[in-house]
Amino acid sequence: MAEKEILPFGDPVLRKKAKPVEELTPKMLRILDDMVDTLYAEEGRAGLAAPQIGILRRMIVMDCGEGLIELINPEILEIQGEQIGPEACLSYPGFTGIVERADYVKIKTLTRSGEWMELEGHDYLARCIQHEIDHLNGILFIDHVKEGQLYREQTKQKADLIQALKLSLK
């Protein structure tokens, strides 16, 4: 198990759709373990999708304050409501954007042991789930940010959304 490098915005892998995990092999489980190590390598990290470490497989690890959650081939079954709030991304360090998301989400996912389960999330957990599933589909949080709602974390100054989007398409 090892911490992996997180791909920065502009890396073309972040814009590709991840493929389903066909079989939970020891290699896939090692990747999950590496993702967990990477997630917990620094404080304050909420979620990590496999494409962020260069692996185009539908796997996510998250800890949105309720303990470790591992998602394999997650599928959204239901969404309801709406919430508007700040989001950041490990692949976009230093930026925060205001994003509209569903307030409730219900998903189906494989567990590490290969069993299907359903998971429901409200509020922040719902936001985290949607953000990470977006990564599996080549969608980045800045794709949801409206002009004038992207900020530099350090200075709280507005950042140029158009420039950030251009950088993410390289």
According to the annotation, is 89 in a ligand binding site? yes
Instruction: Please work out, in degrees rounded to the nearest 5, the angle formed at the alpha carbon of residue 35 by the alpha carbons of 49 and 79.
Output: 35
According to the annotation, is 122 in a ligand binding site? no
Q: Which has the closest alpha carbon to 83: 56, 25, 51, 122?
A: 122
Given 42, 87, 132, 153, which residue is catalytic?
132
Residues 6+ apart with CB under 8 A from 19: 56, 57, 58
Q: How many CA atoms lie within 13 A of 37 on its CB side?
A: 12
8 Å CB contact between 86 and 94: no
According to the annotation, is 135 in a ligand binding site? yes
Catalytic residue flag (residue 132): yes
Instruction: Show binding-site residues for Fe cation.
Output: 89, 131, 135
Instruction: Show binding-site residues.
Output: 89, 131, 135
Active site residues: 132
